[in-house]
Structures are given as structure tokens and as C-alpha cells.
Amino acid sequence: MELINAKWLLILGVASAWTIFFSMFCTPGIRGWRNLGWIACFVLGIVMFCVLSWRSALVTWGVAGIFSGLVYFGYECLSYFKAEHSSENSKPRLRVIIHALLVWPIMLPEAVEYTLSELGLLKGPGAPSDNSGS
């Protein structure tokens, strides 16, 4: 018996990719499609526990959670070291990895979106546009 089920990990990855893709849009009508990816990940998690052994389902979900937590922690580190005035509140927290074990489908798209915004590769929802009138 394999503990990490690669097939189900790939299925969860596809649902996560859906969520990440639609998180990149600022238009509310398009951005709302990401919610289907969140729902799909949680439903797939429940189905995994019905189809796979409980150990395999738990470890497969946990691998996705730890990966997502590490990505989110990486974003927090990038944000902290890039900030001019780093405060105690903005320090990276290792507990995000523990939180990700439960809510990684929400945290992974956020971490990717925030990291791309921090690097200037993605325009944030509240970012000013470059359309200057002069």
C-alpha cells in the first residue's frame, strides 16, 4: 500500500491550478470562478477518504498541505525581507504550515497571487494603473 497516492495528488493539483489561474484576474465575474476550485479541493478530500485507505488519504492531503504551507511561508519571508519597515507583526510565522494542513486549498492560491504581486509580476486589485494623463 502506498501512503502518497500520486493519482489523487495530481487530481488535487489540477483543482488547485484552476483556483490559482482564476485568482490572477481582478475582474469579479472572472475571479469568482476560483471558488469552484476551492469547493472541488474540499470535495475531493472527502471523496479521497471514501475511496482510499484513511492513511493514504490523510498523508496525500497532508503532503498538499505541507507544500502549500511552505509556499505561504516563503511568501511571508519574501514580504518581510522586502519591506522597508519590518515590524513584529509582519514576521514570517511557521504556524502557517500547520494551518495549511486544513485549509491549503485557500492558502496556496493566495500565496501564489501575493508572491507574484510582491514581485511586481501581477497587478493587485487595488494597485494604481500606469495610465497617466500626461
Give the helix ranges, DSSP H, for 1-134. Answer: 6-23, 28-31, 34-51, 54-82, 95-118
Name the percent of the chain lying above pLDDT 70: 88
Q: Decide if 7 contacts 52 (C-beta within 8 A).
A: no
- Residue 100's nearest CA partner among 80, 75, 73 is 73
Q: Where are the domains of the chain?
A: 6-118
**Quick one: pLDDT band at residue 17, thresholds 50, 70, 90?**
very high
pLDDT, tens only, 56-108: 999 999 999 999 999 999 999 998 888 877 666 678 889 999 999 999 999 99
